[in-house]
């Protein structure tokens, strides 16, 4: 029936762990700051479009949300 499966790994390259950790760190940083940017953009759009507060209040909300996100994720 089924026997033991043997996989030839003699030609496989060694893992480059420092590069892997660097890439992972970059991915996490981009995910965090991308999320903060999207949330700030949506808050600015909500204030400007739904609440009808205008462009200045919308931009101010966007900037304040970015600053809060910056200090929260530092």
State the DSSP string of 32-54.
Answer: HHHHHHHHHHHHHHIIIIIS---
Residue 47 inside a domain? The answer is yes
CA atoms within a 13 Å half-sphere pointing along the CA-CB vector of 6? 2
Model confidence over 32-60: pLDDT tens digits? 999 999 999 999 999 999 988 899 999 99
Residue 26 inside a domain? The answer is no
Token code pair at residue 4? 């033991």
Contacts of 54 (CB under 8 A, 6+ apart): 48
- What confidence tier does 9 reach under pLDDT thresholds 50, 70, 90? low
* Percentage of the residues of the chain whose pLDDT score is greater than 70: 89
Looking at the structure of the chain, the number of domains it has is: 1
Residue 67 inside a domain? The answer is yes
Q: Which domain holds residue 39?
A: 32-73
pLDDT on residue 12: 59
Residue 23 inside a domain? The answer is no
- What confidence tier does 2 reach under pLDDT thresholds 50, 70, 90? low
Residue 66 pLDDT > 70: yes
């Amino acid at each position: 029936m089924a026997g033991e499966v043997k996989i030839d790994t003699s030609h496989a390259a060694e893992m480059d762990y420092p590069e892997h950790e660097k890439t992972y760190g970059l991915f996490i940083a981009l995910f965090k700051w991308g999320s903060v940017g999207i949330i700030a953009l949506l808050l600015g759009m909500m204030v400007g479009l739904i609440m009808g507060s205008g462009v200045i209040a919308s931009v101010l909300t966007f900037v304040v949300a970015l600053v809060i996100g910056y200090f929260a994720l530092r």
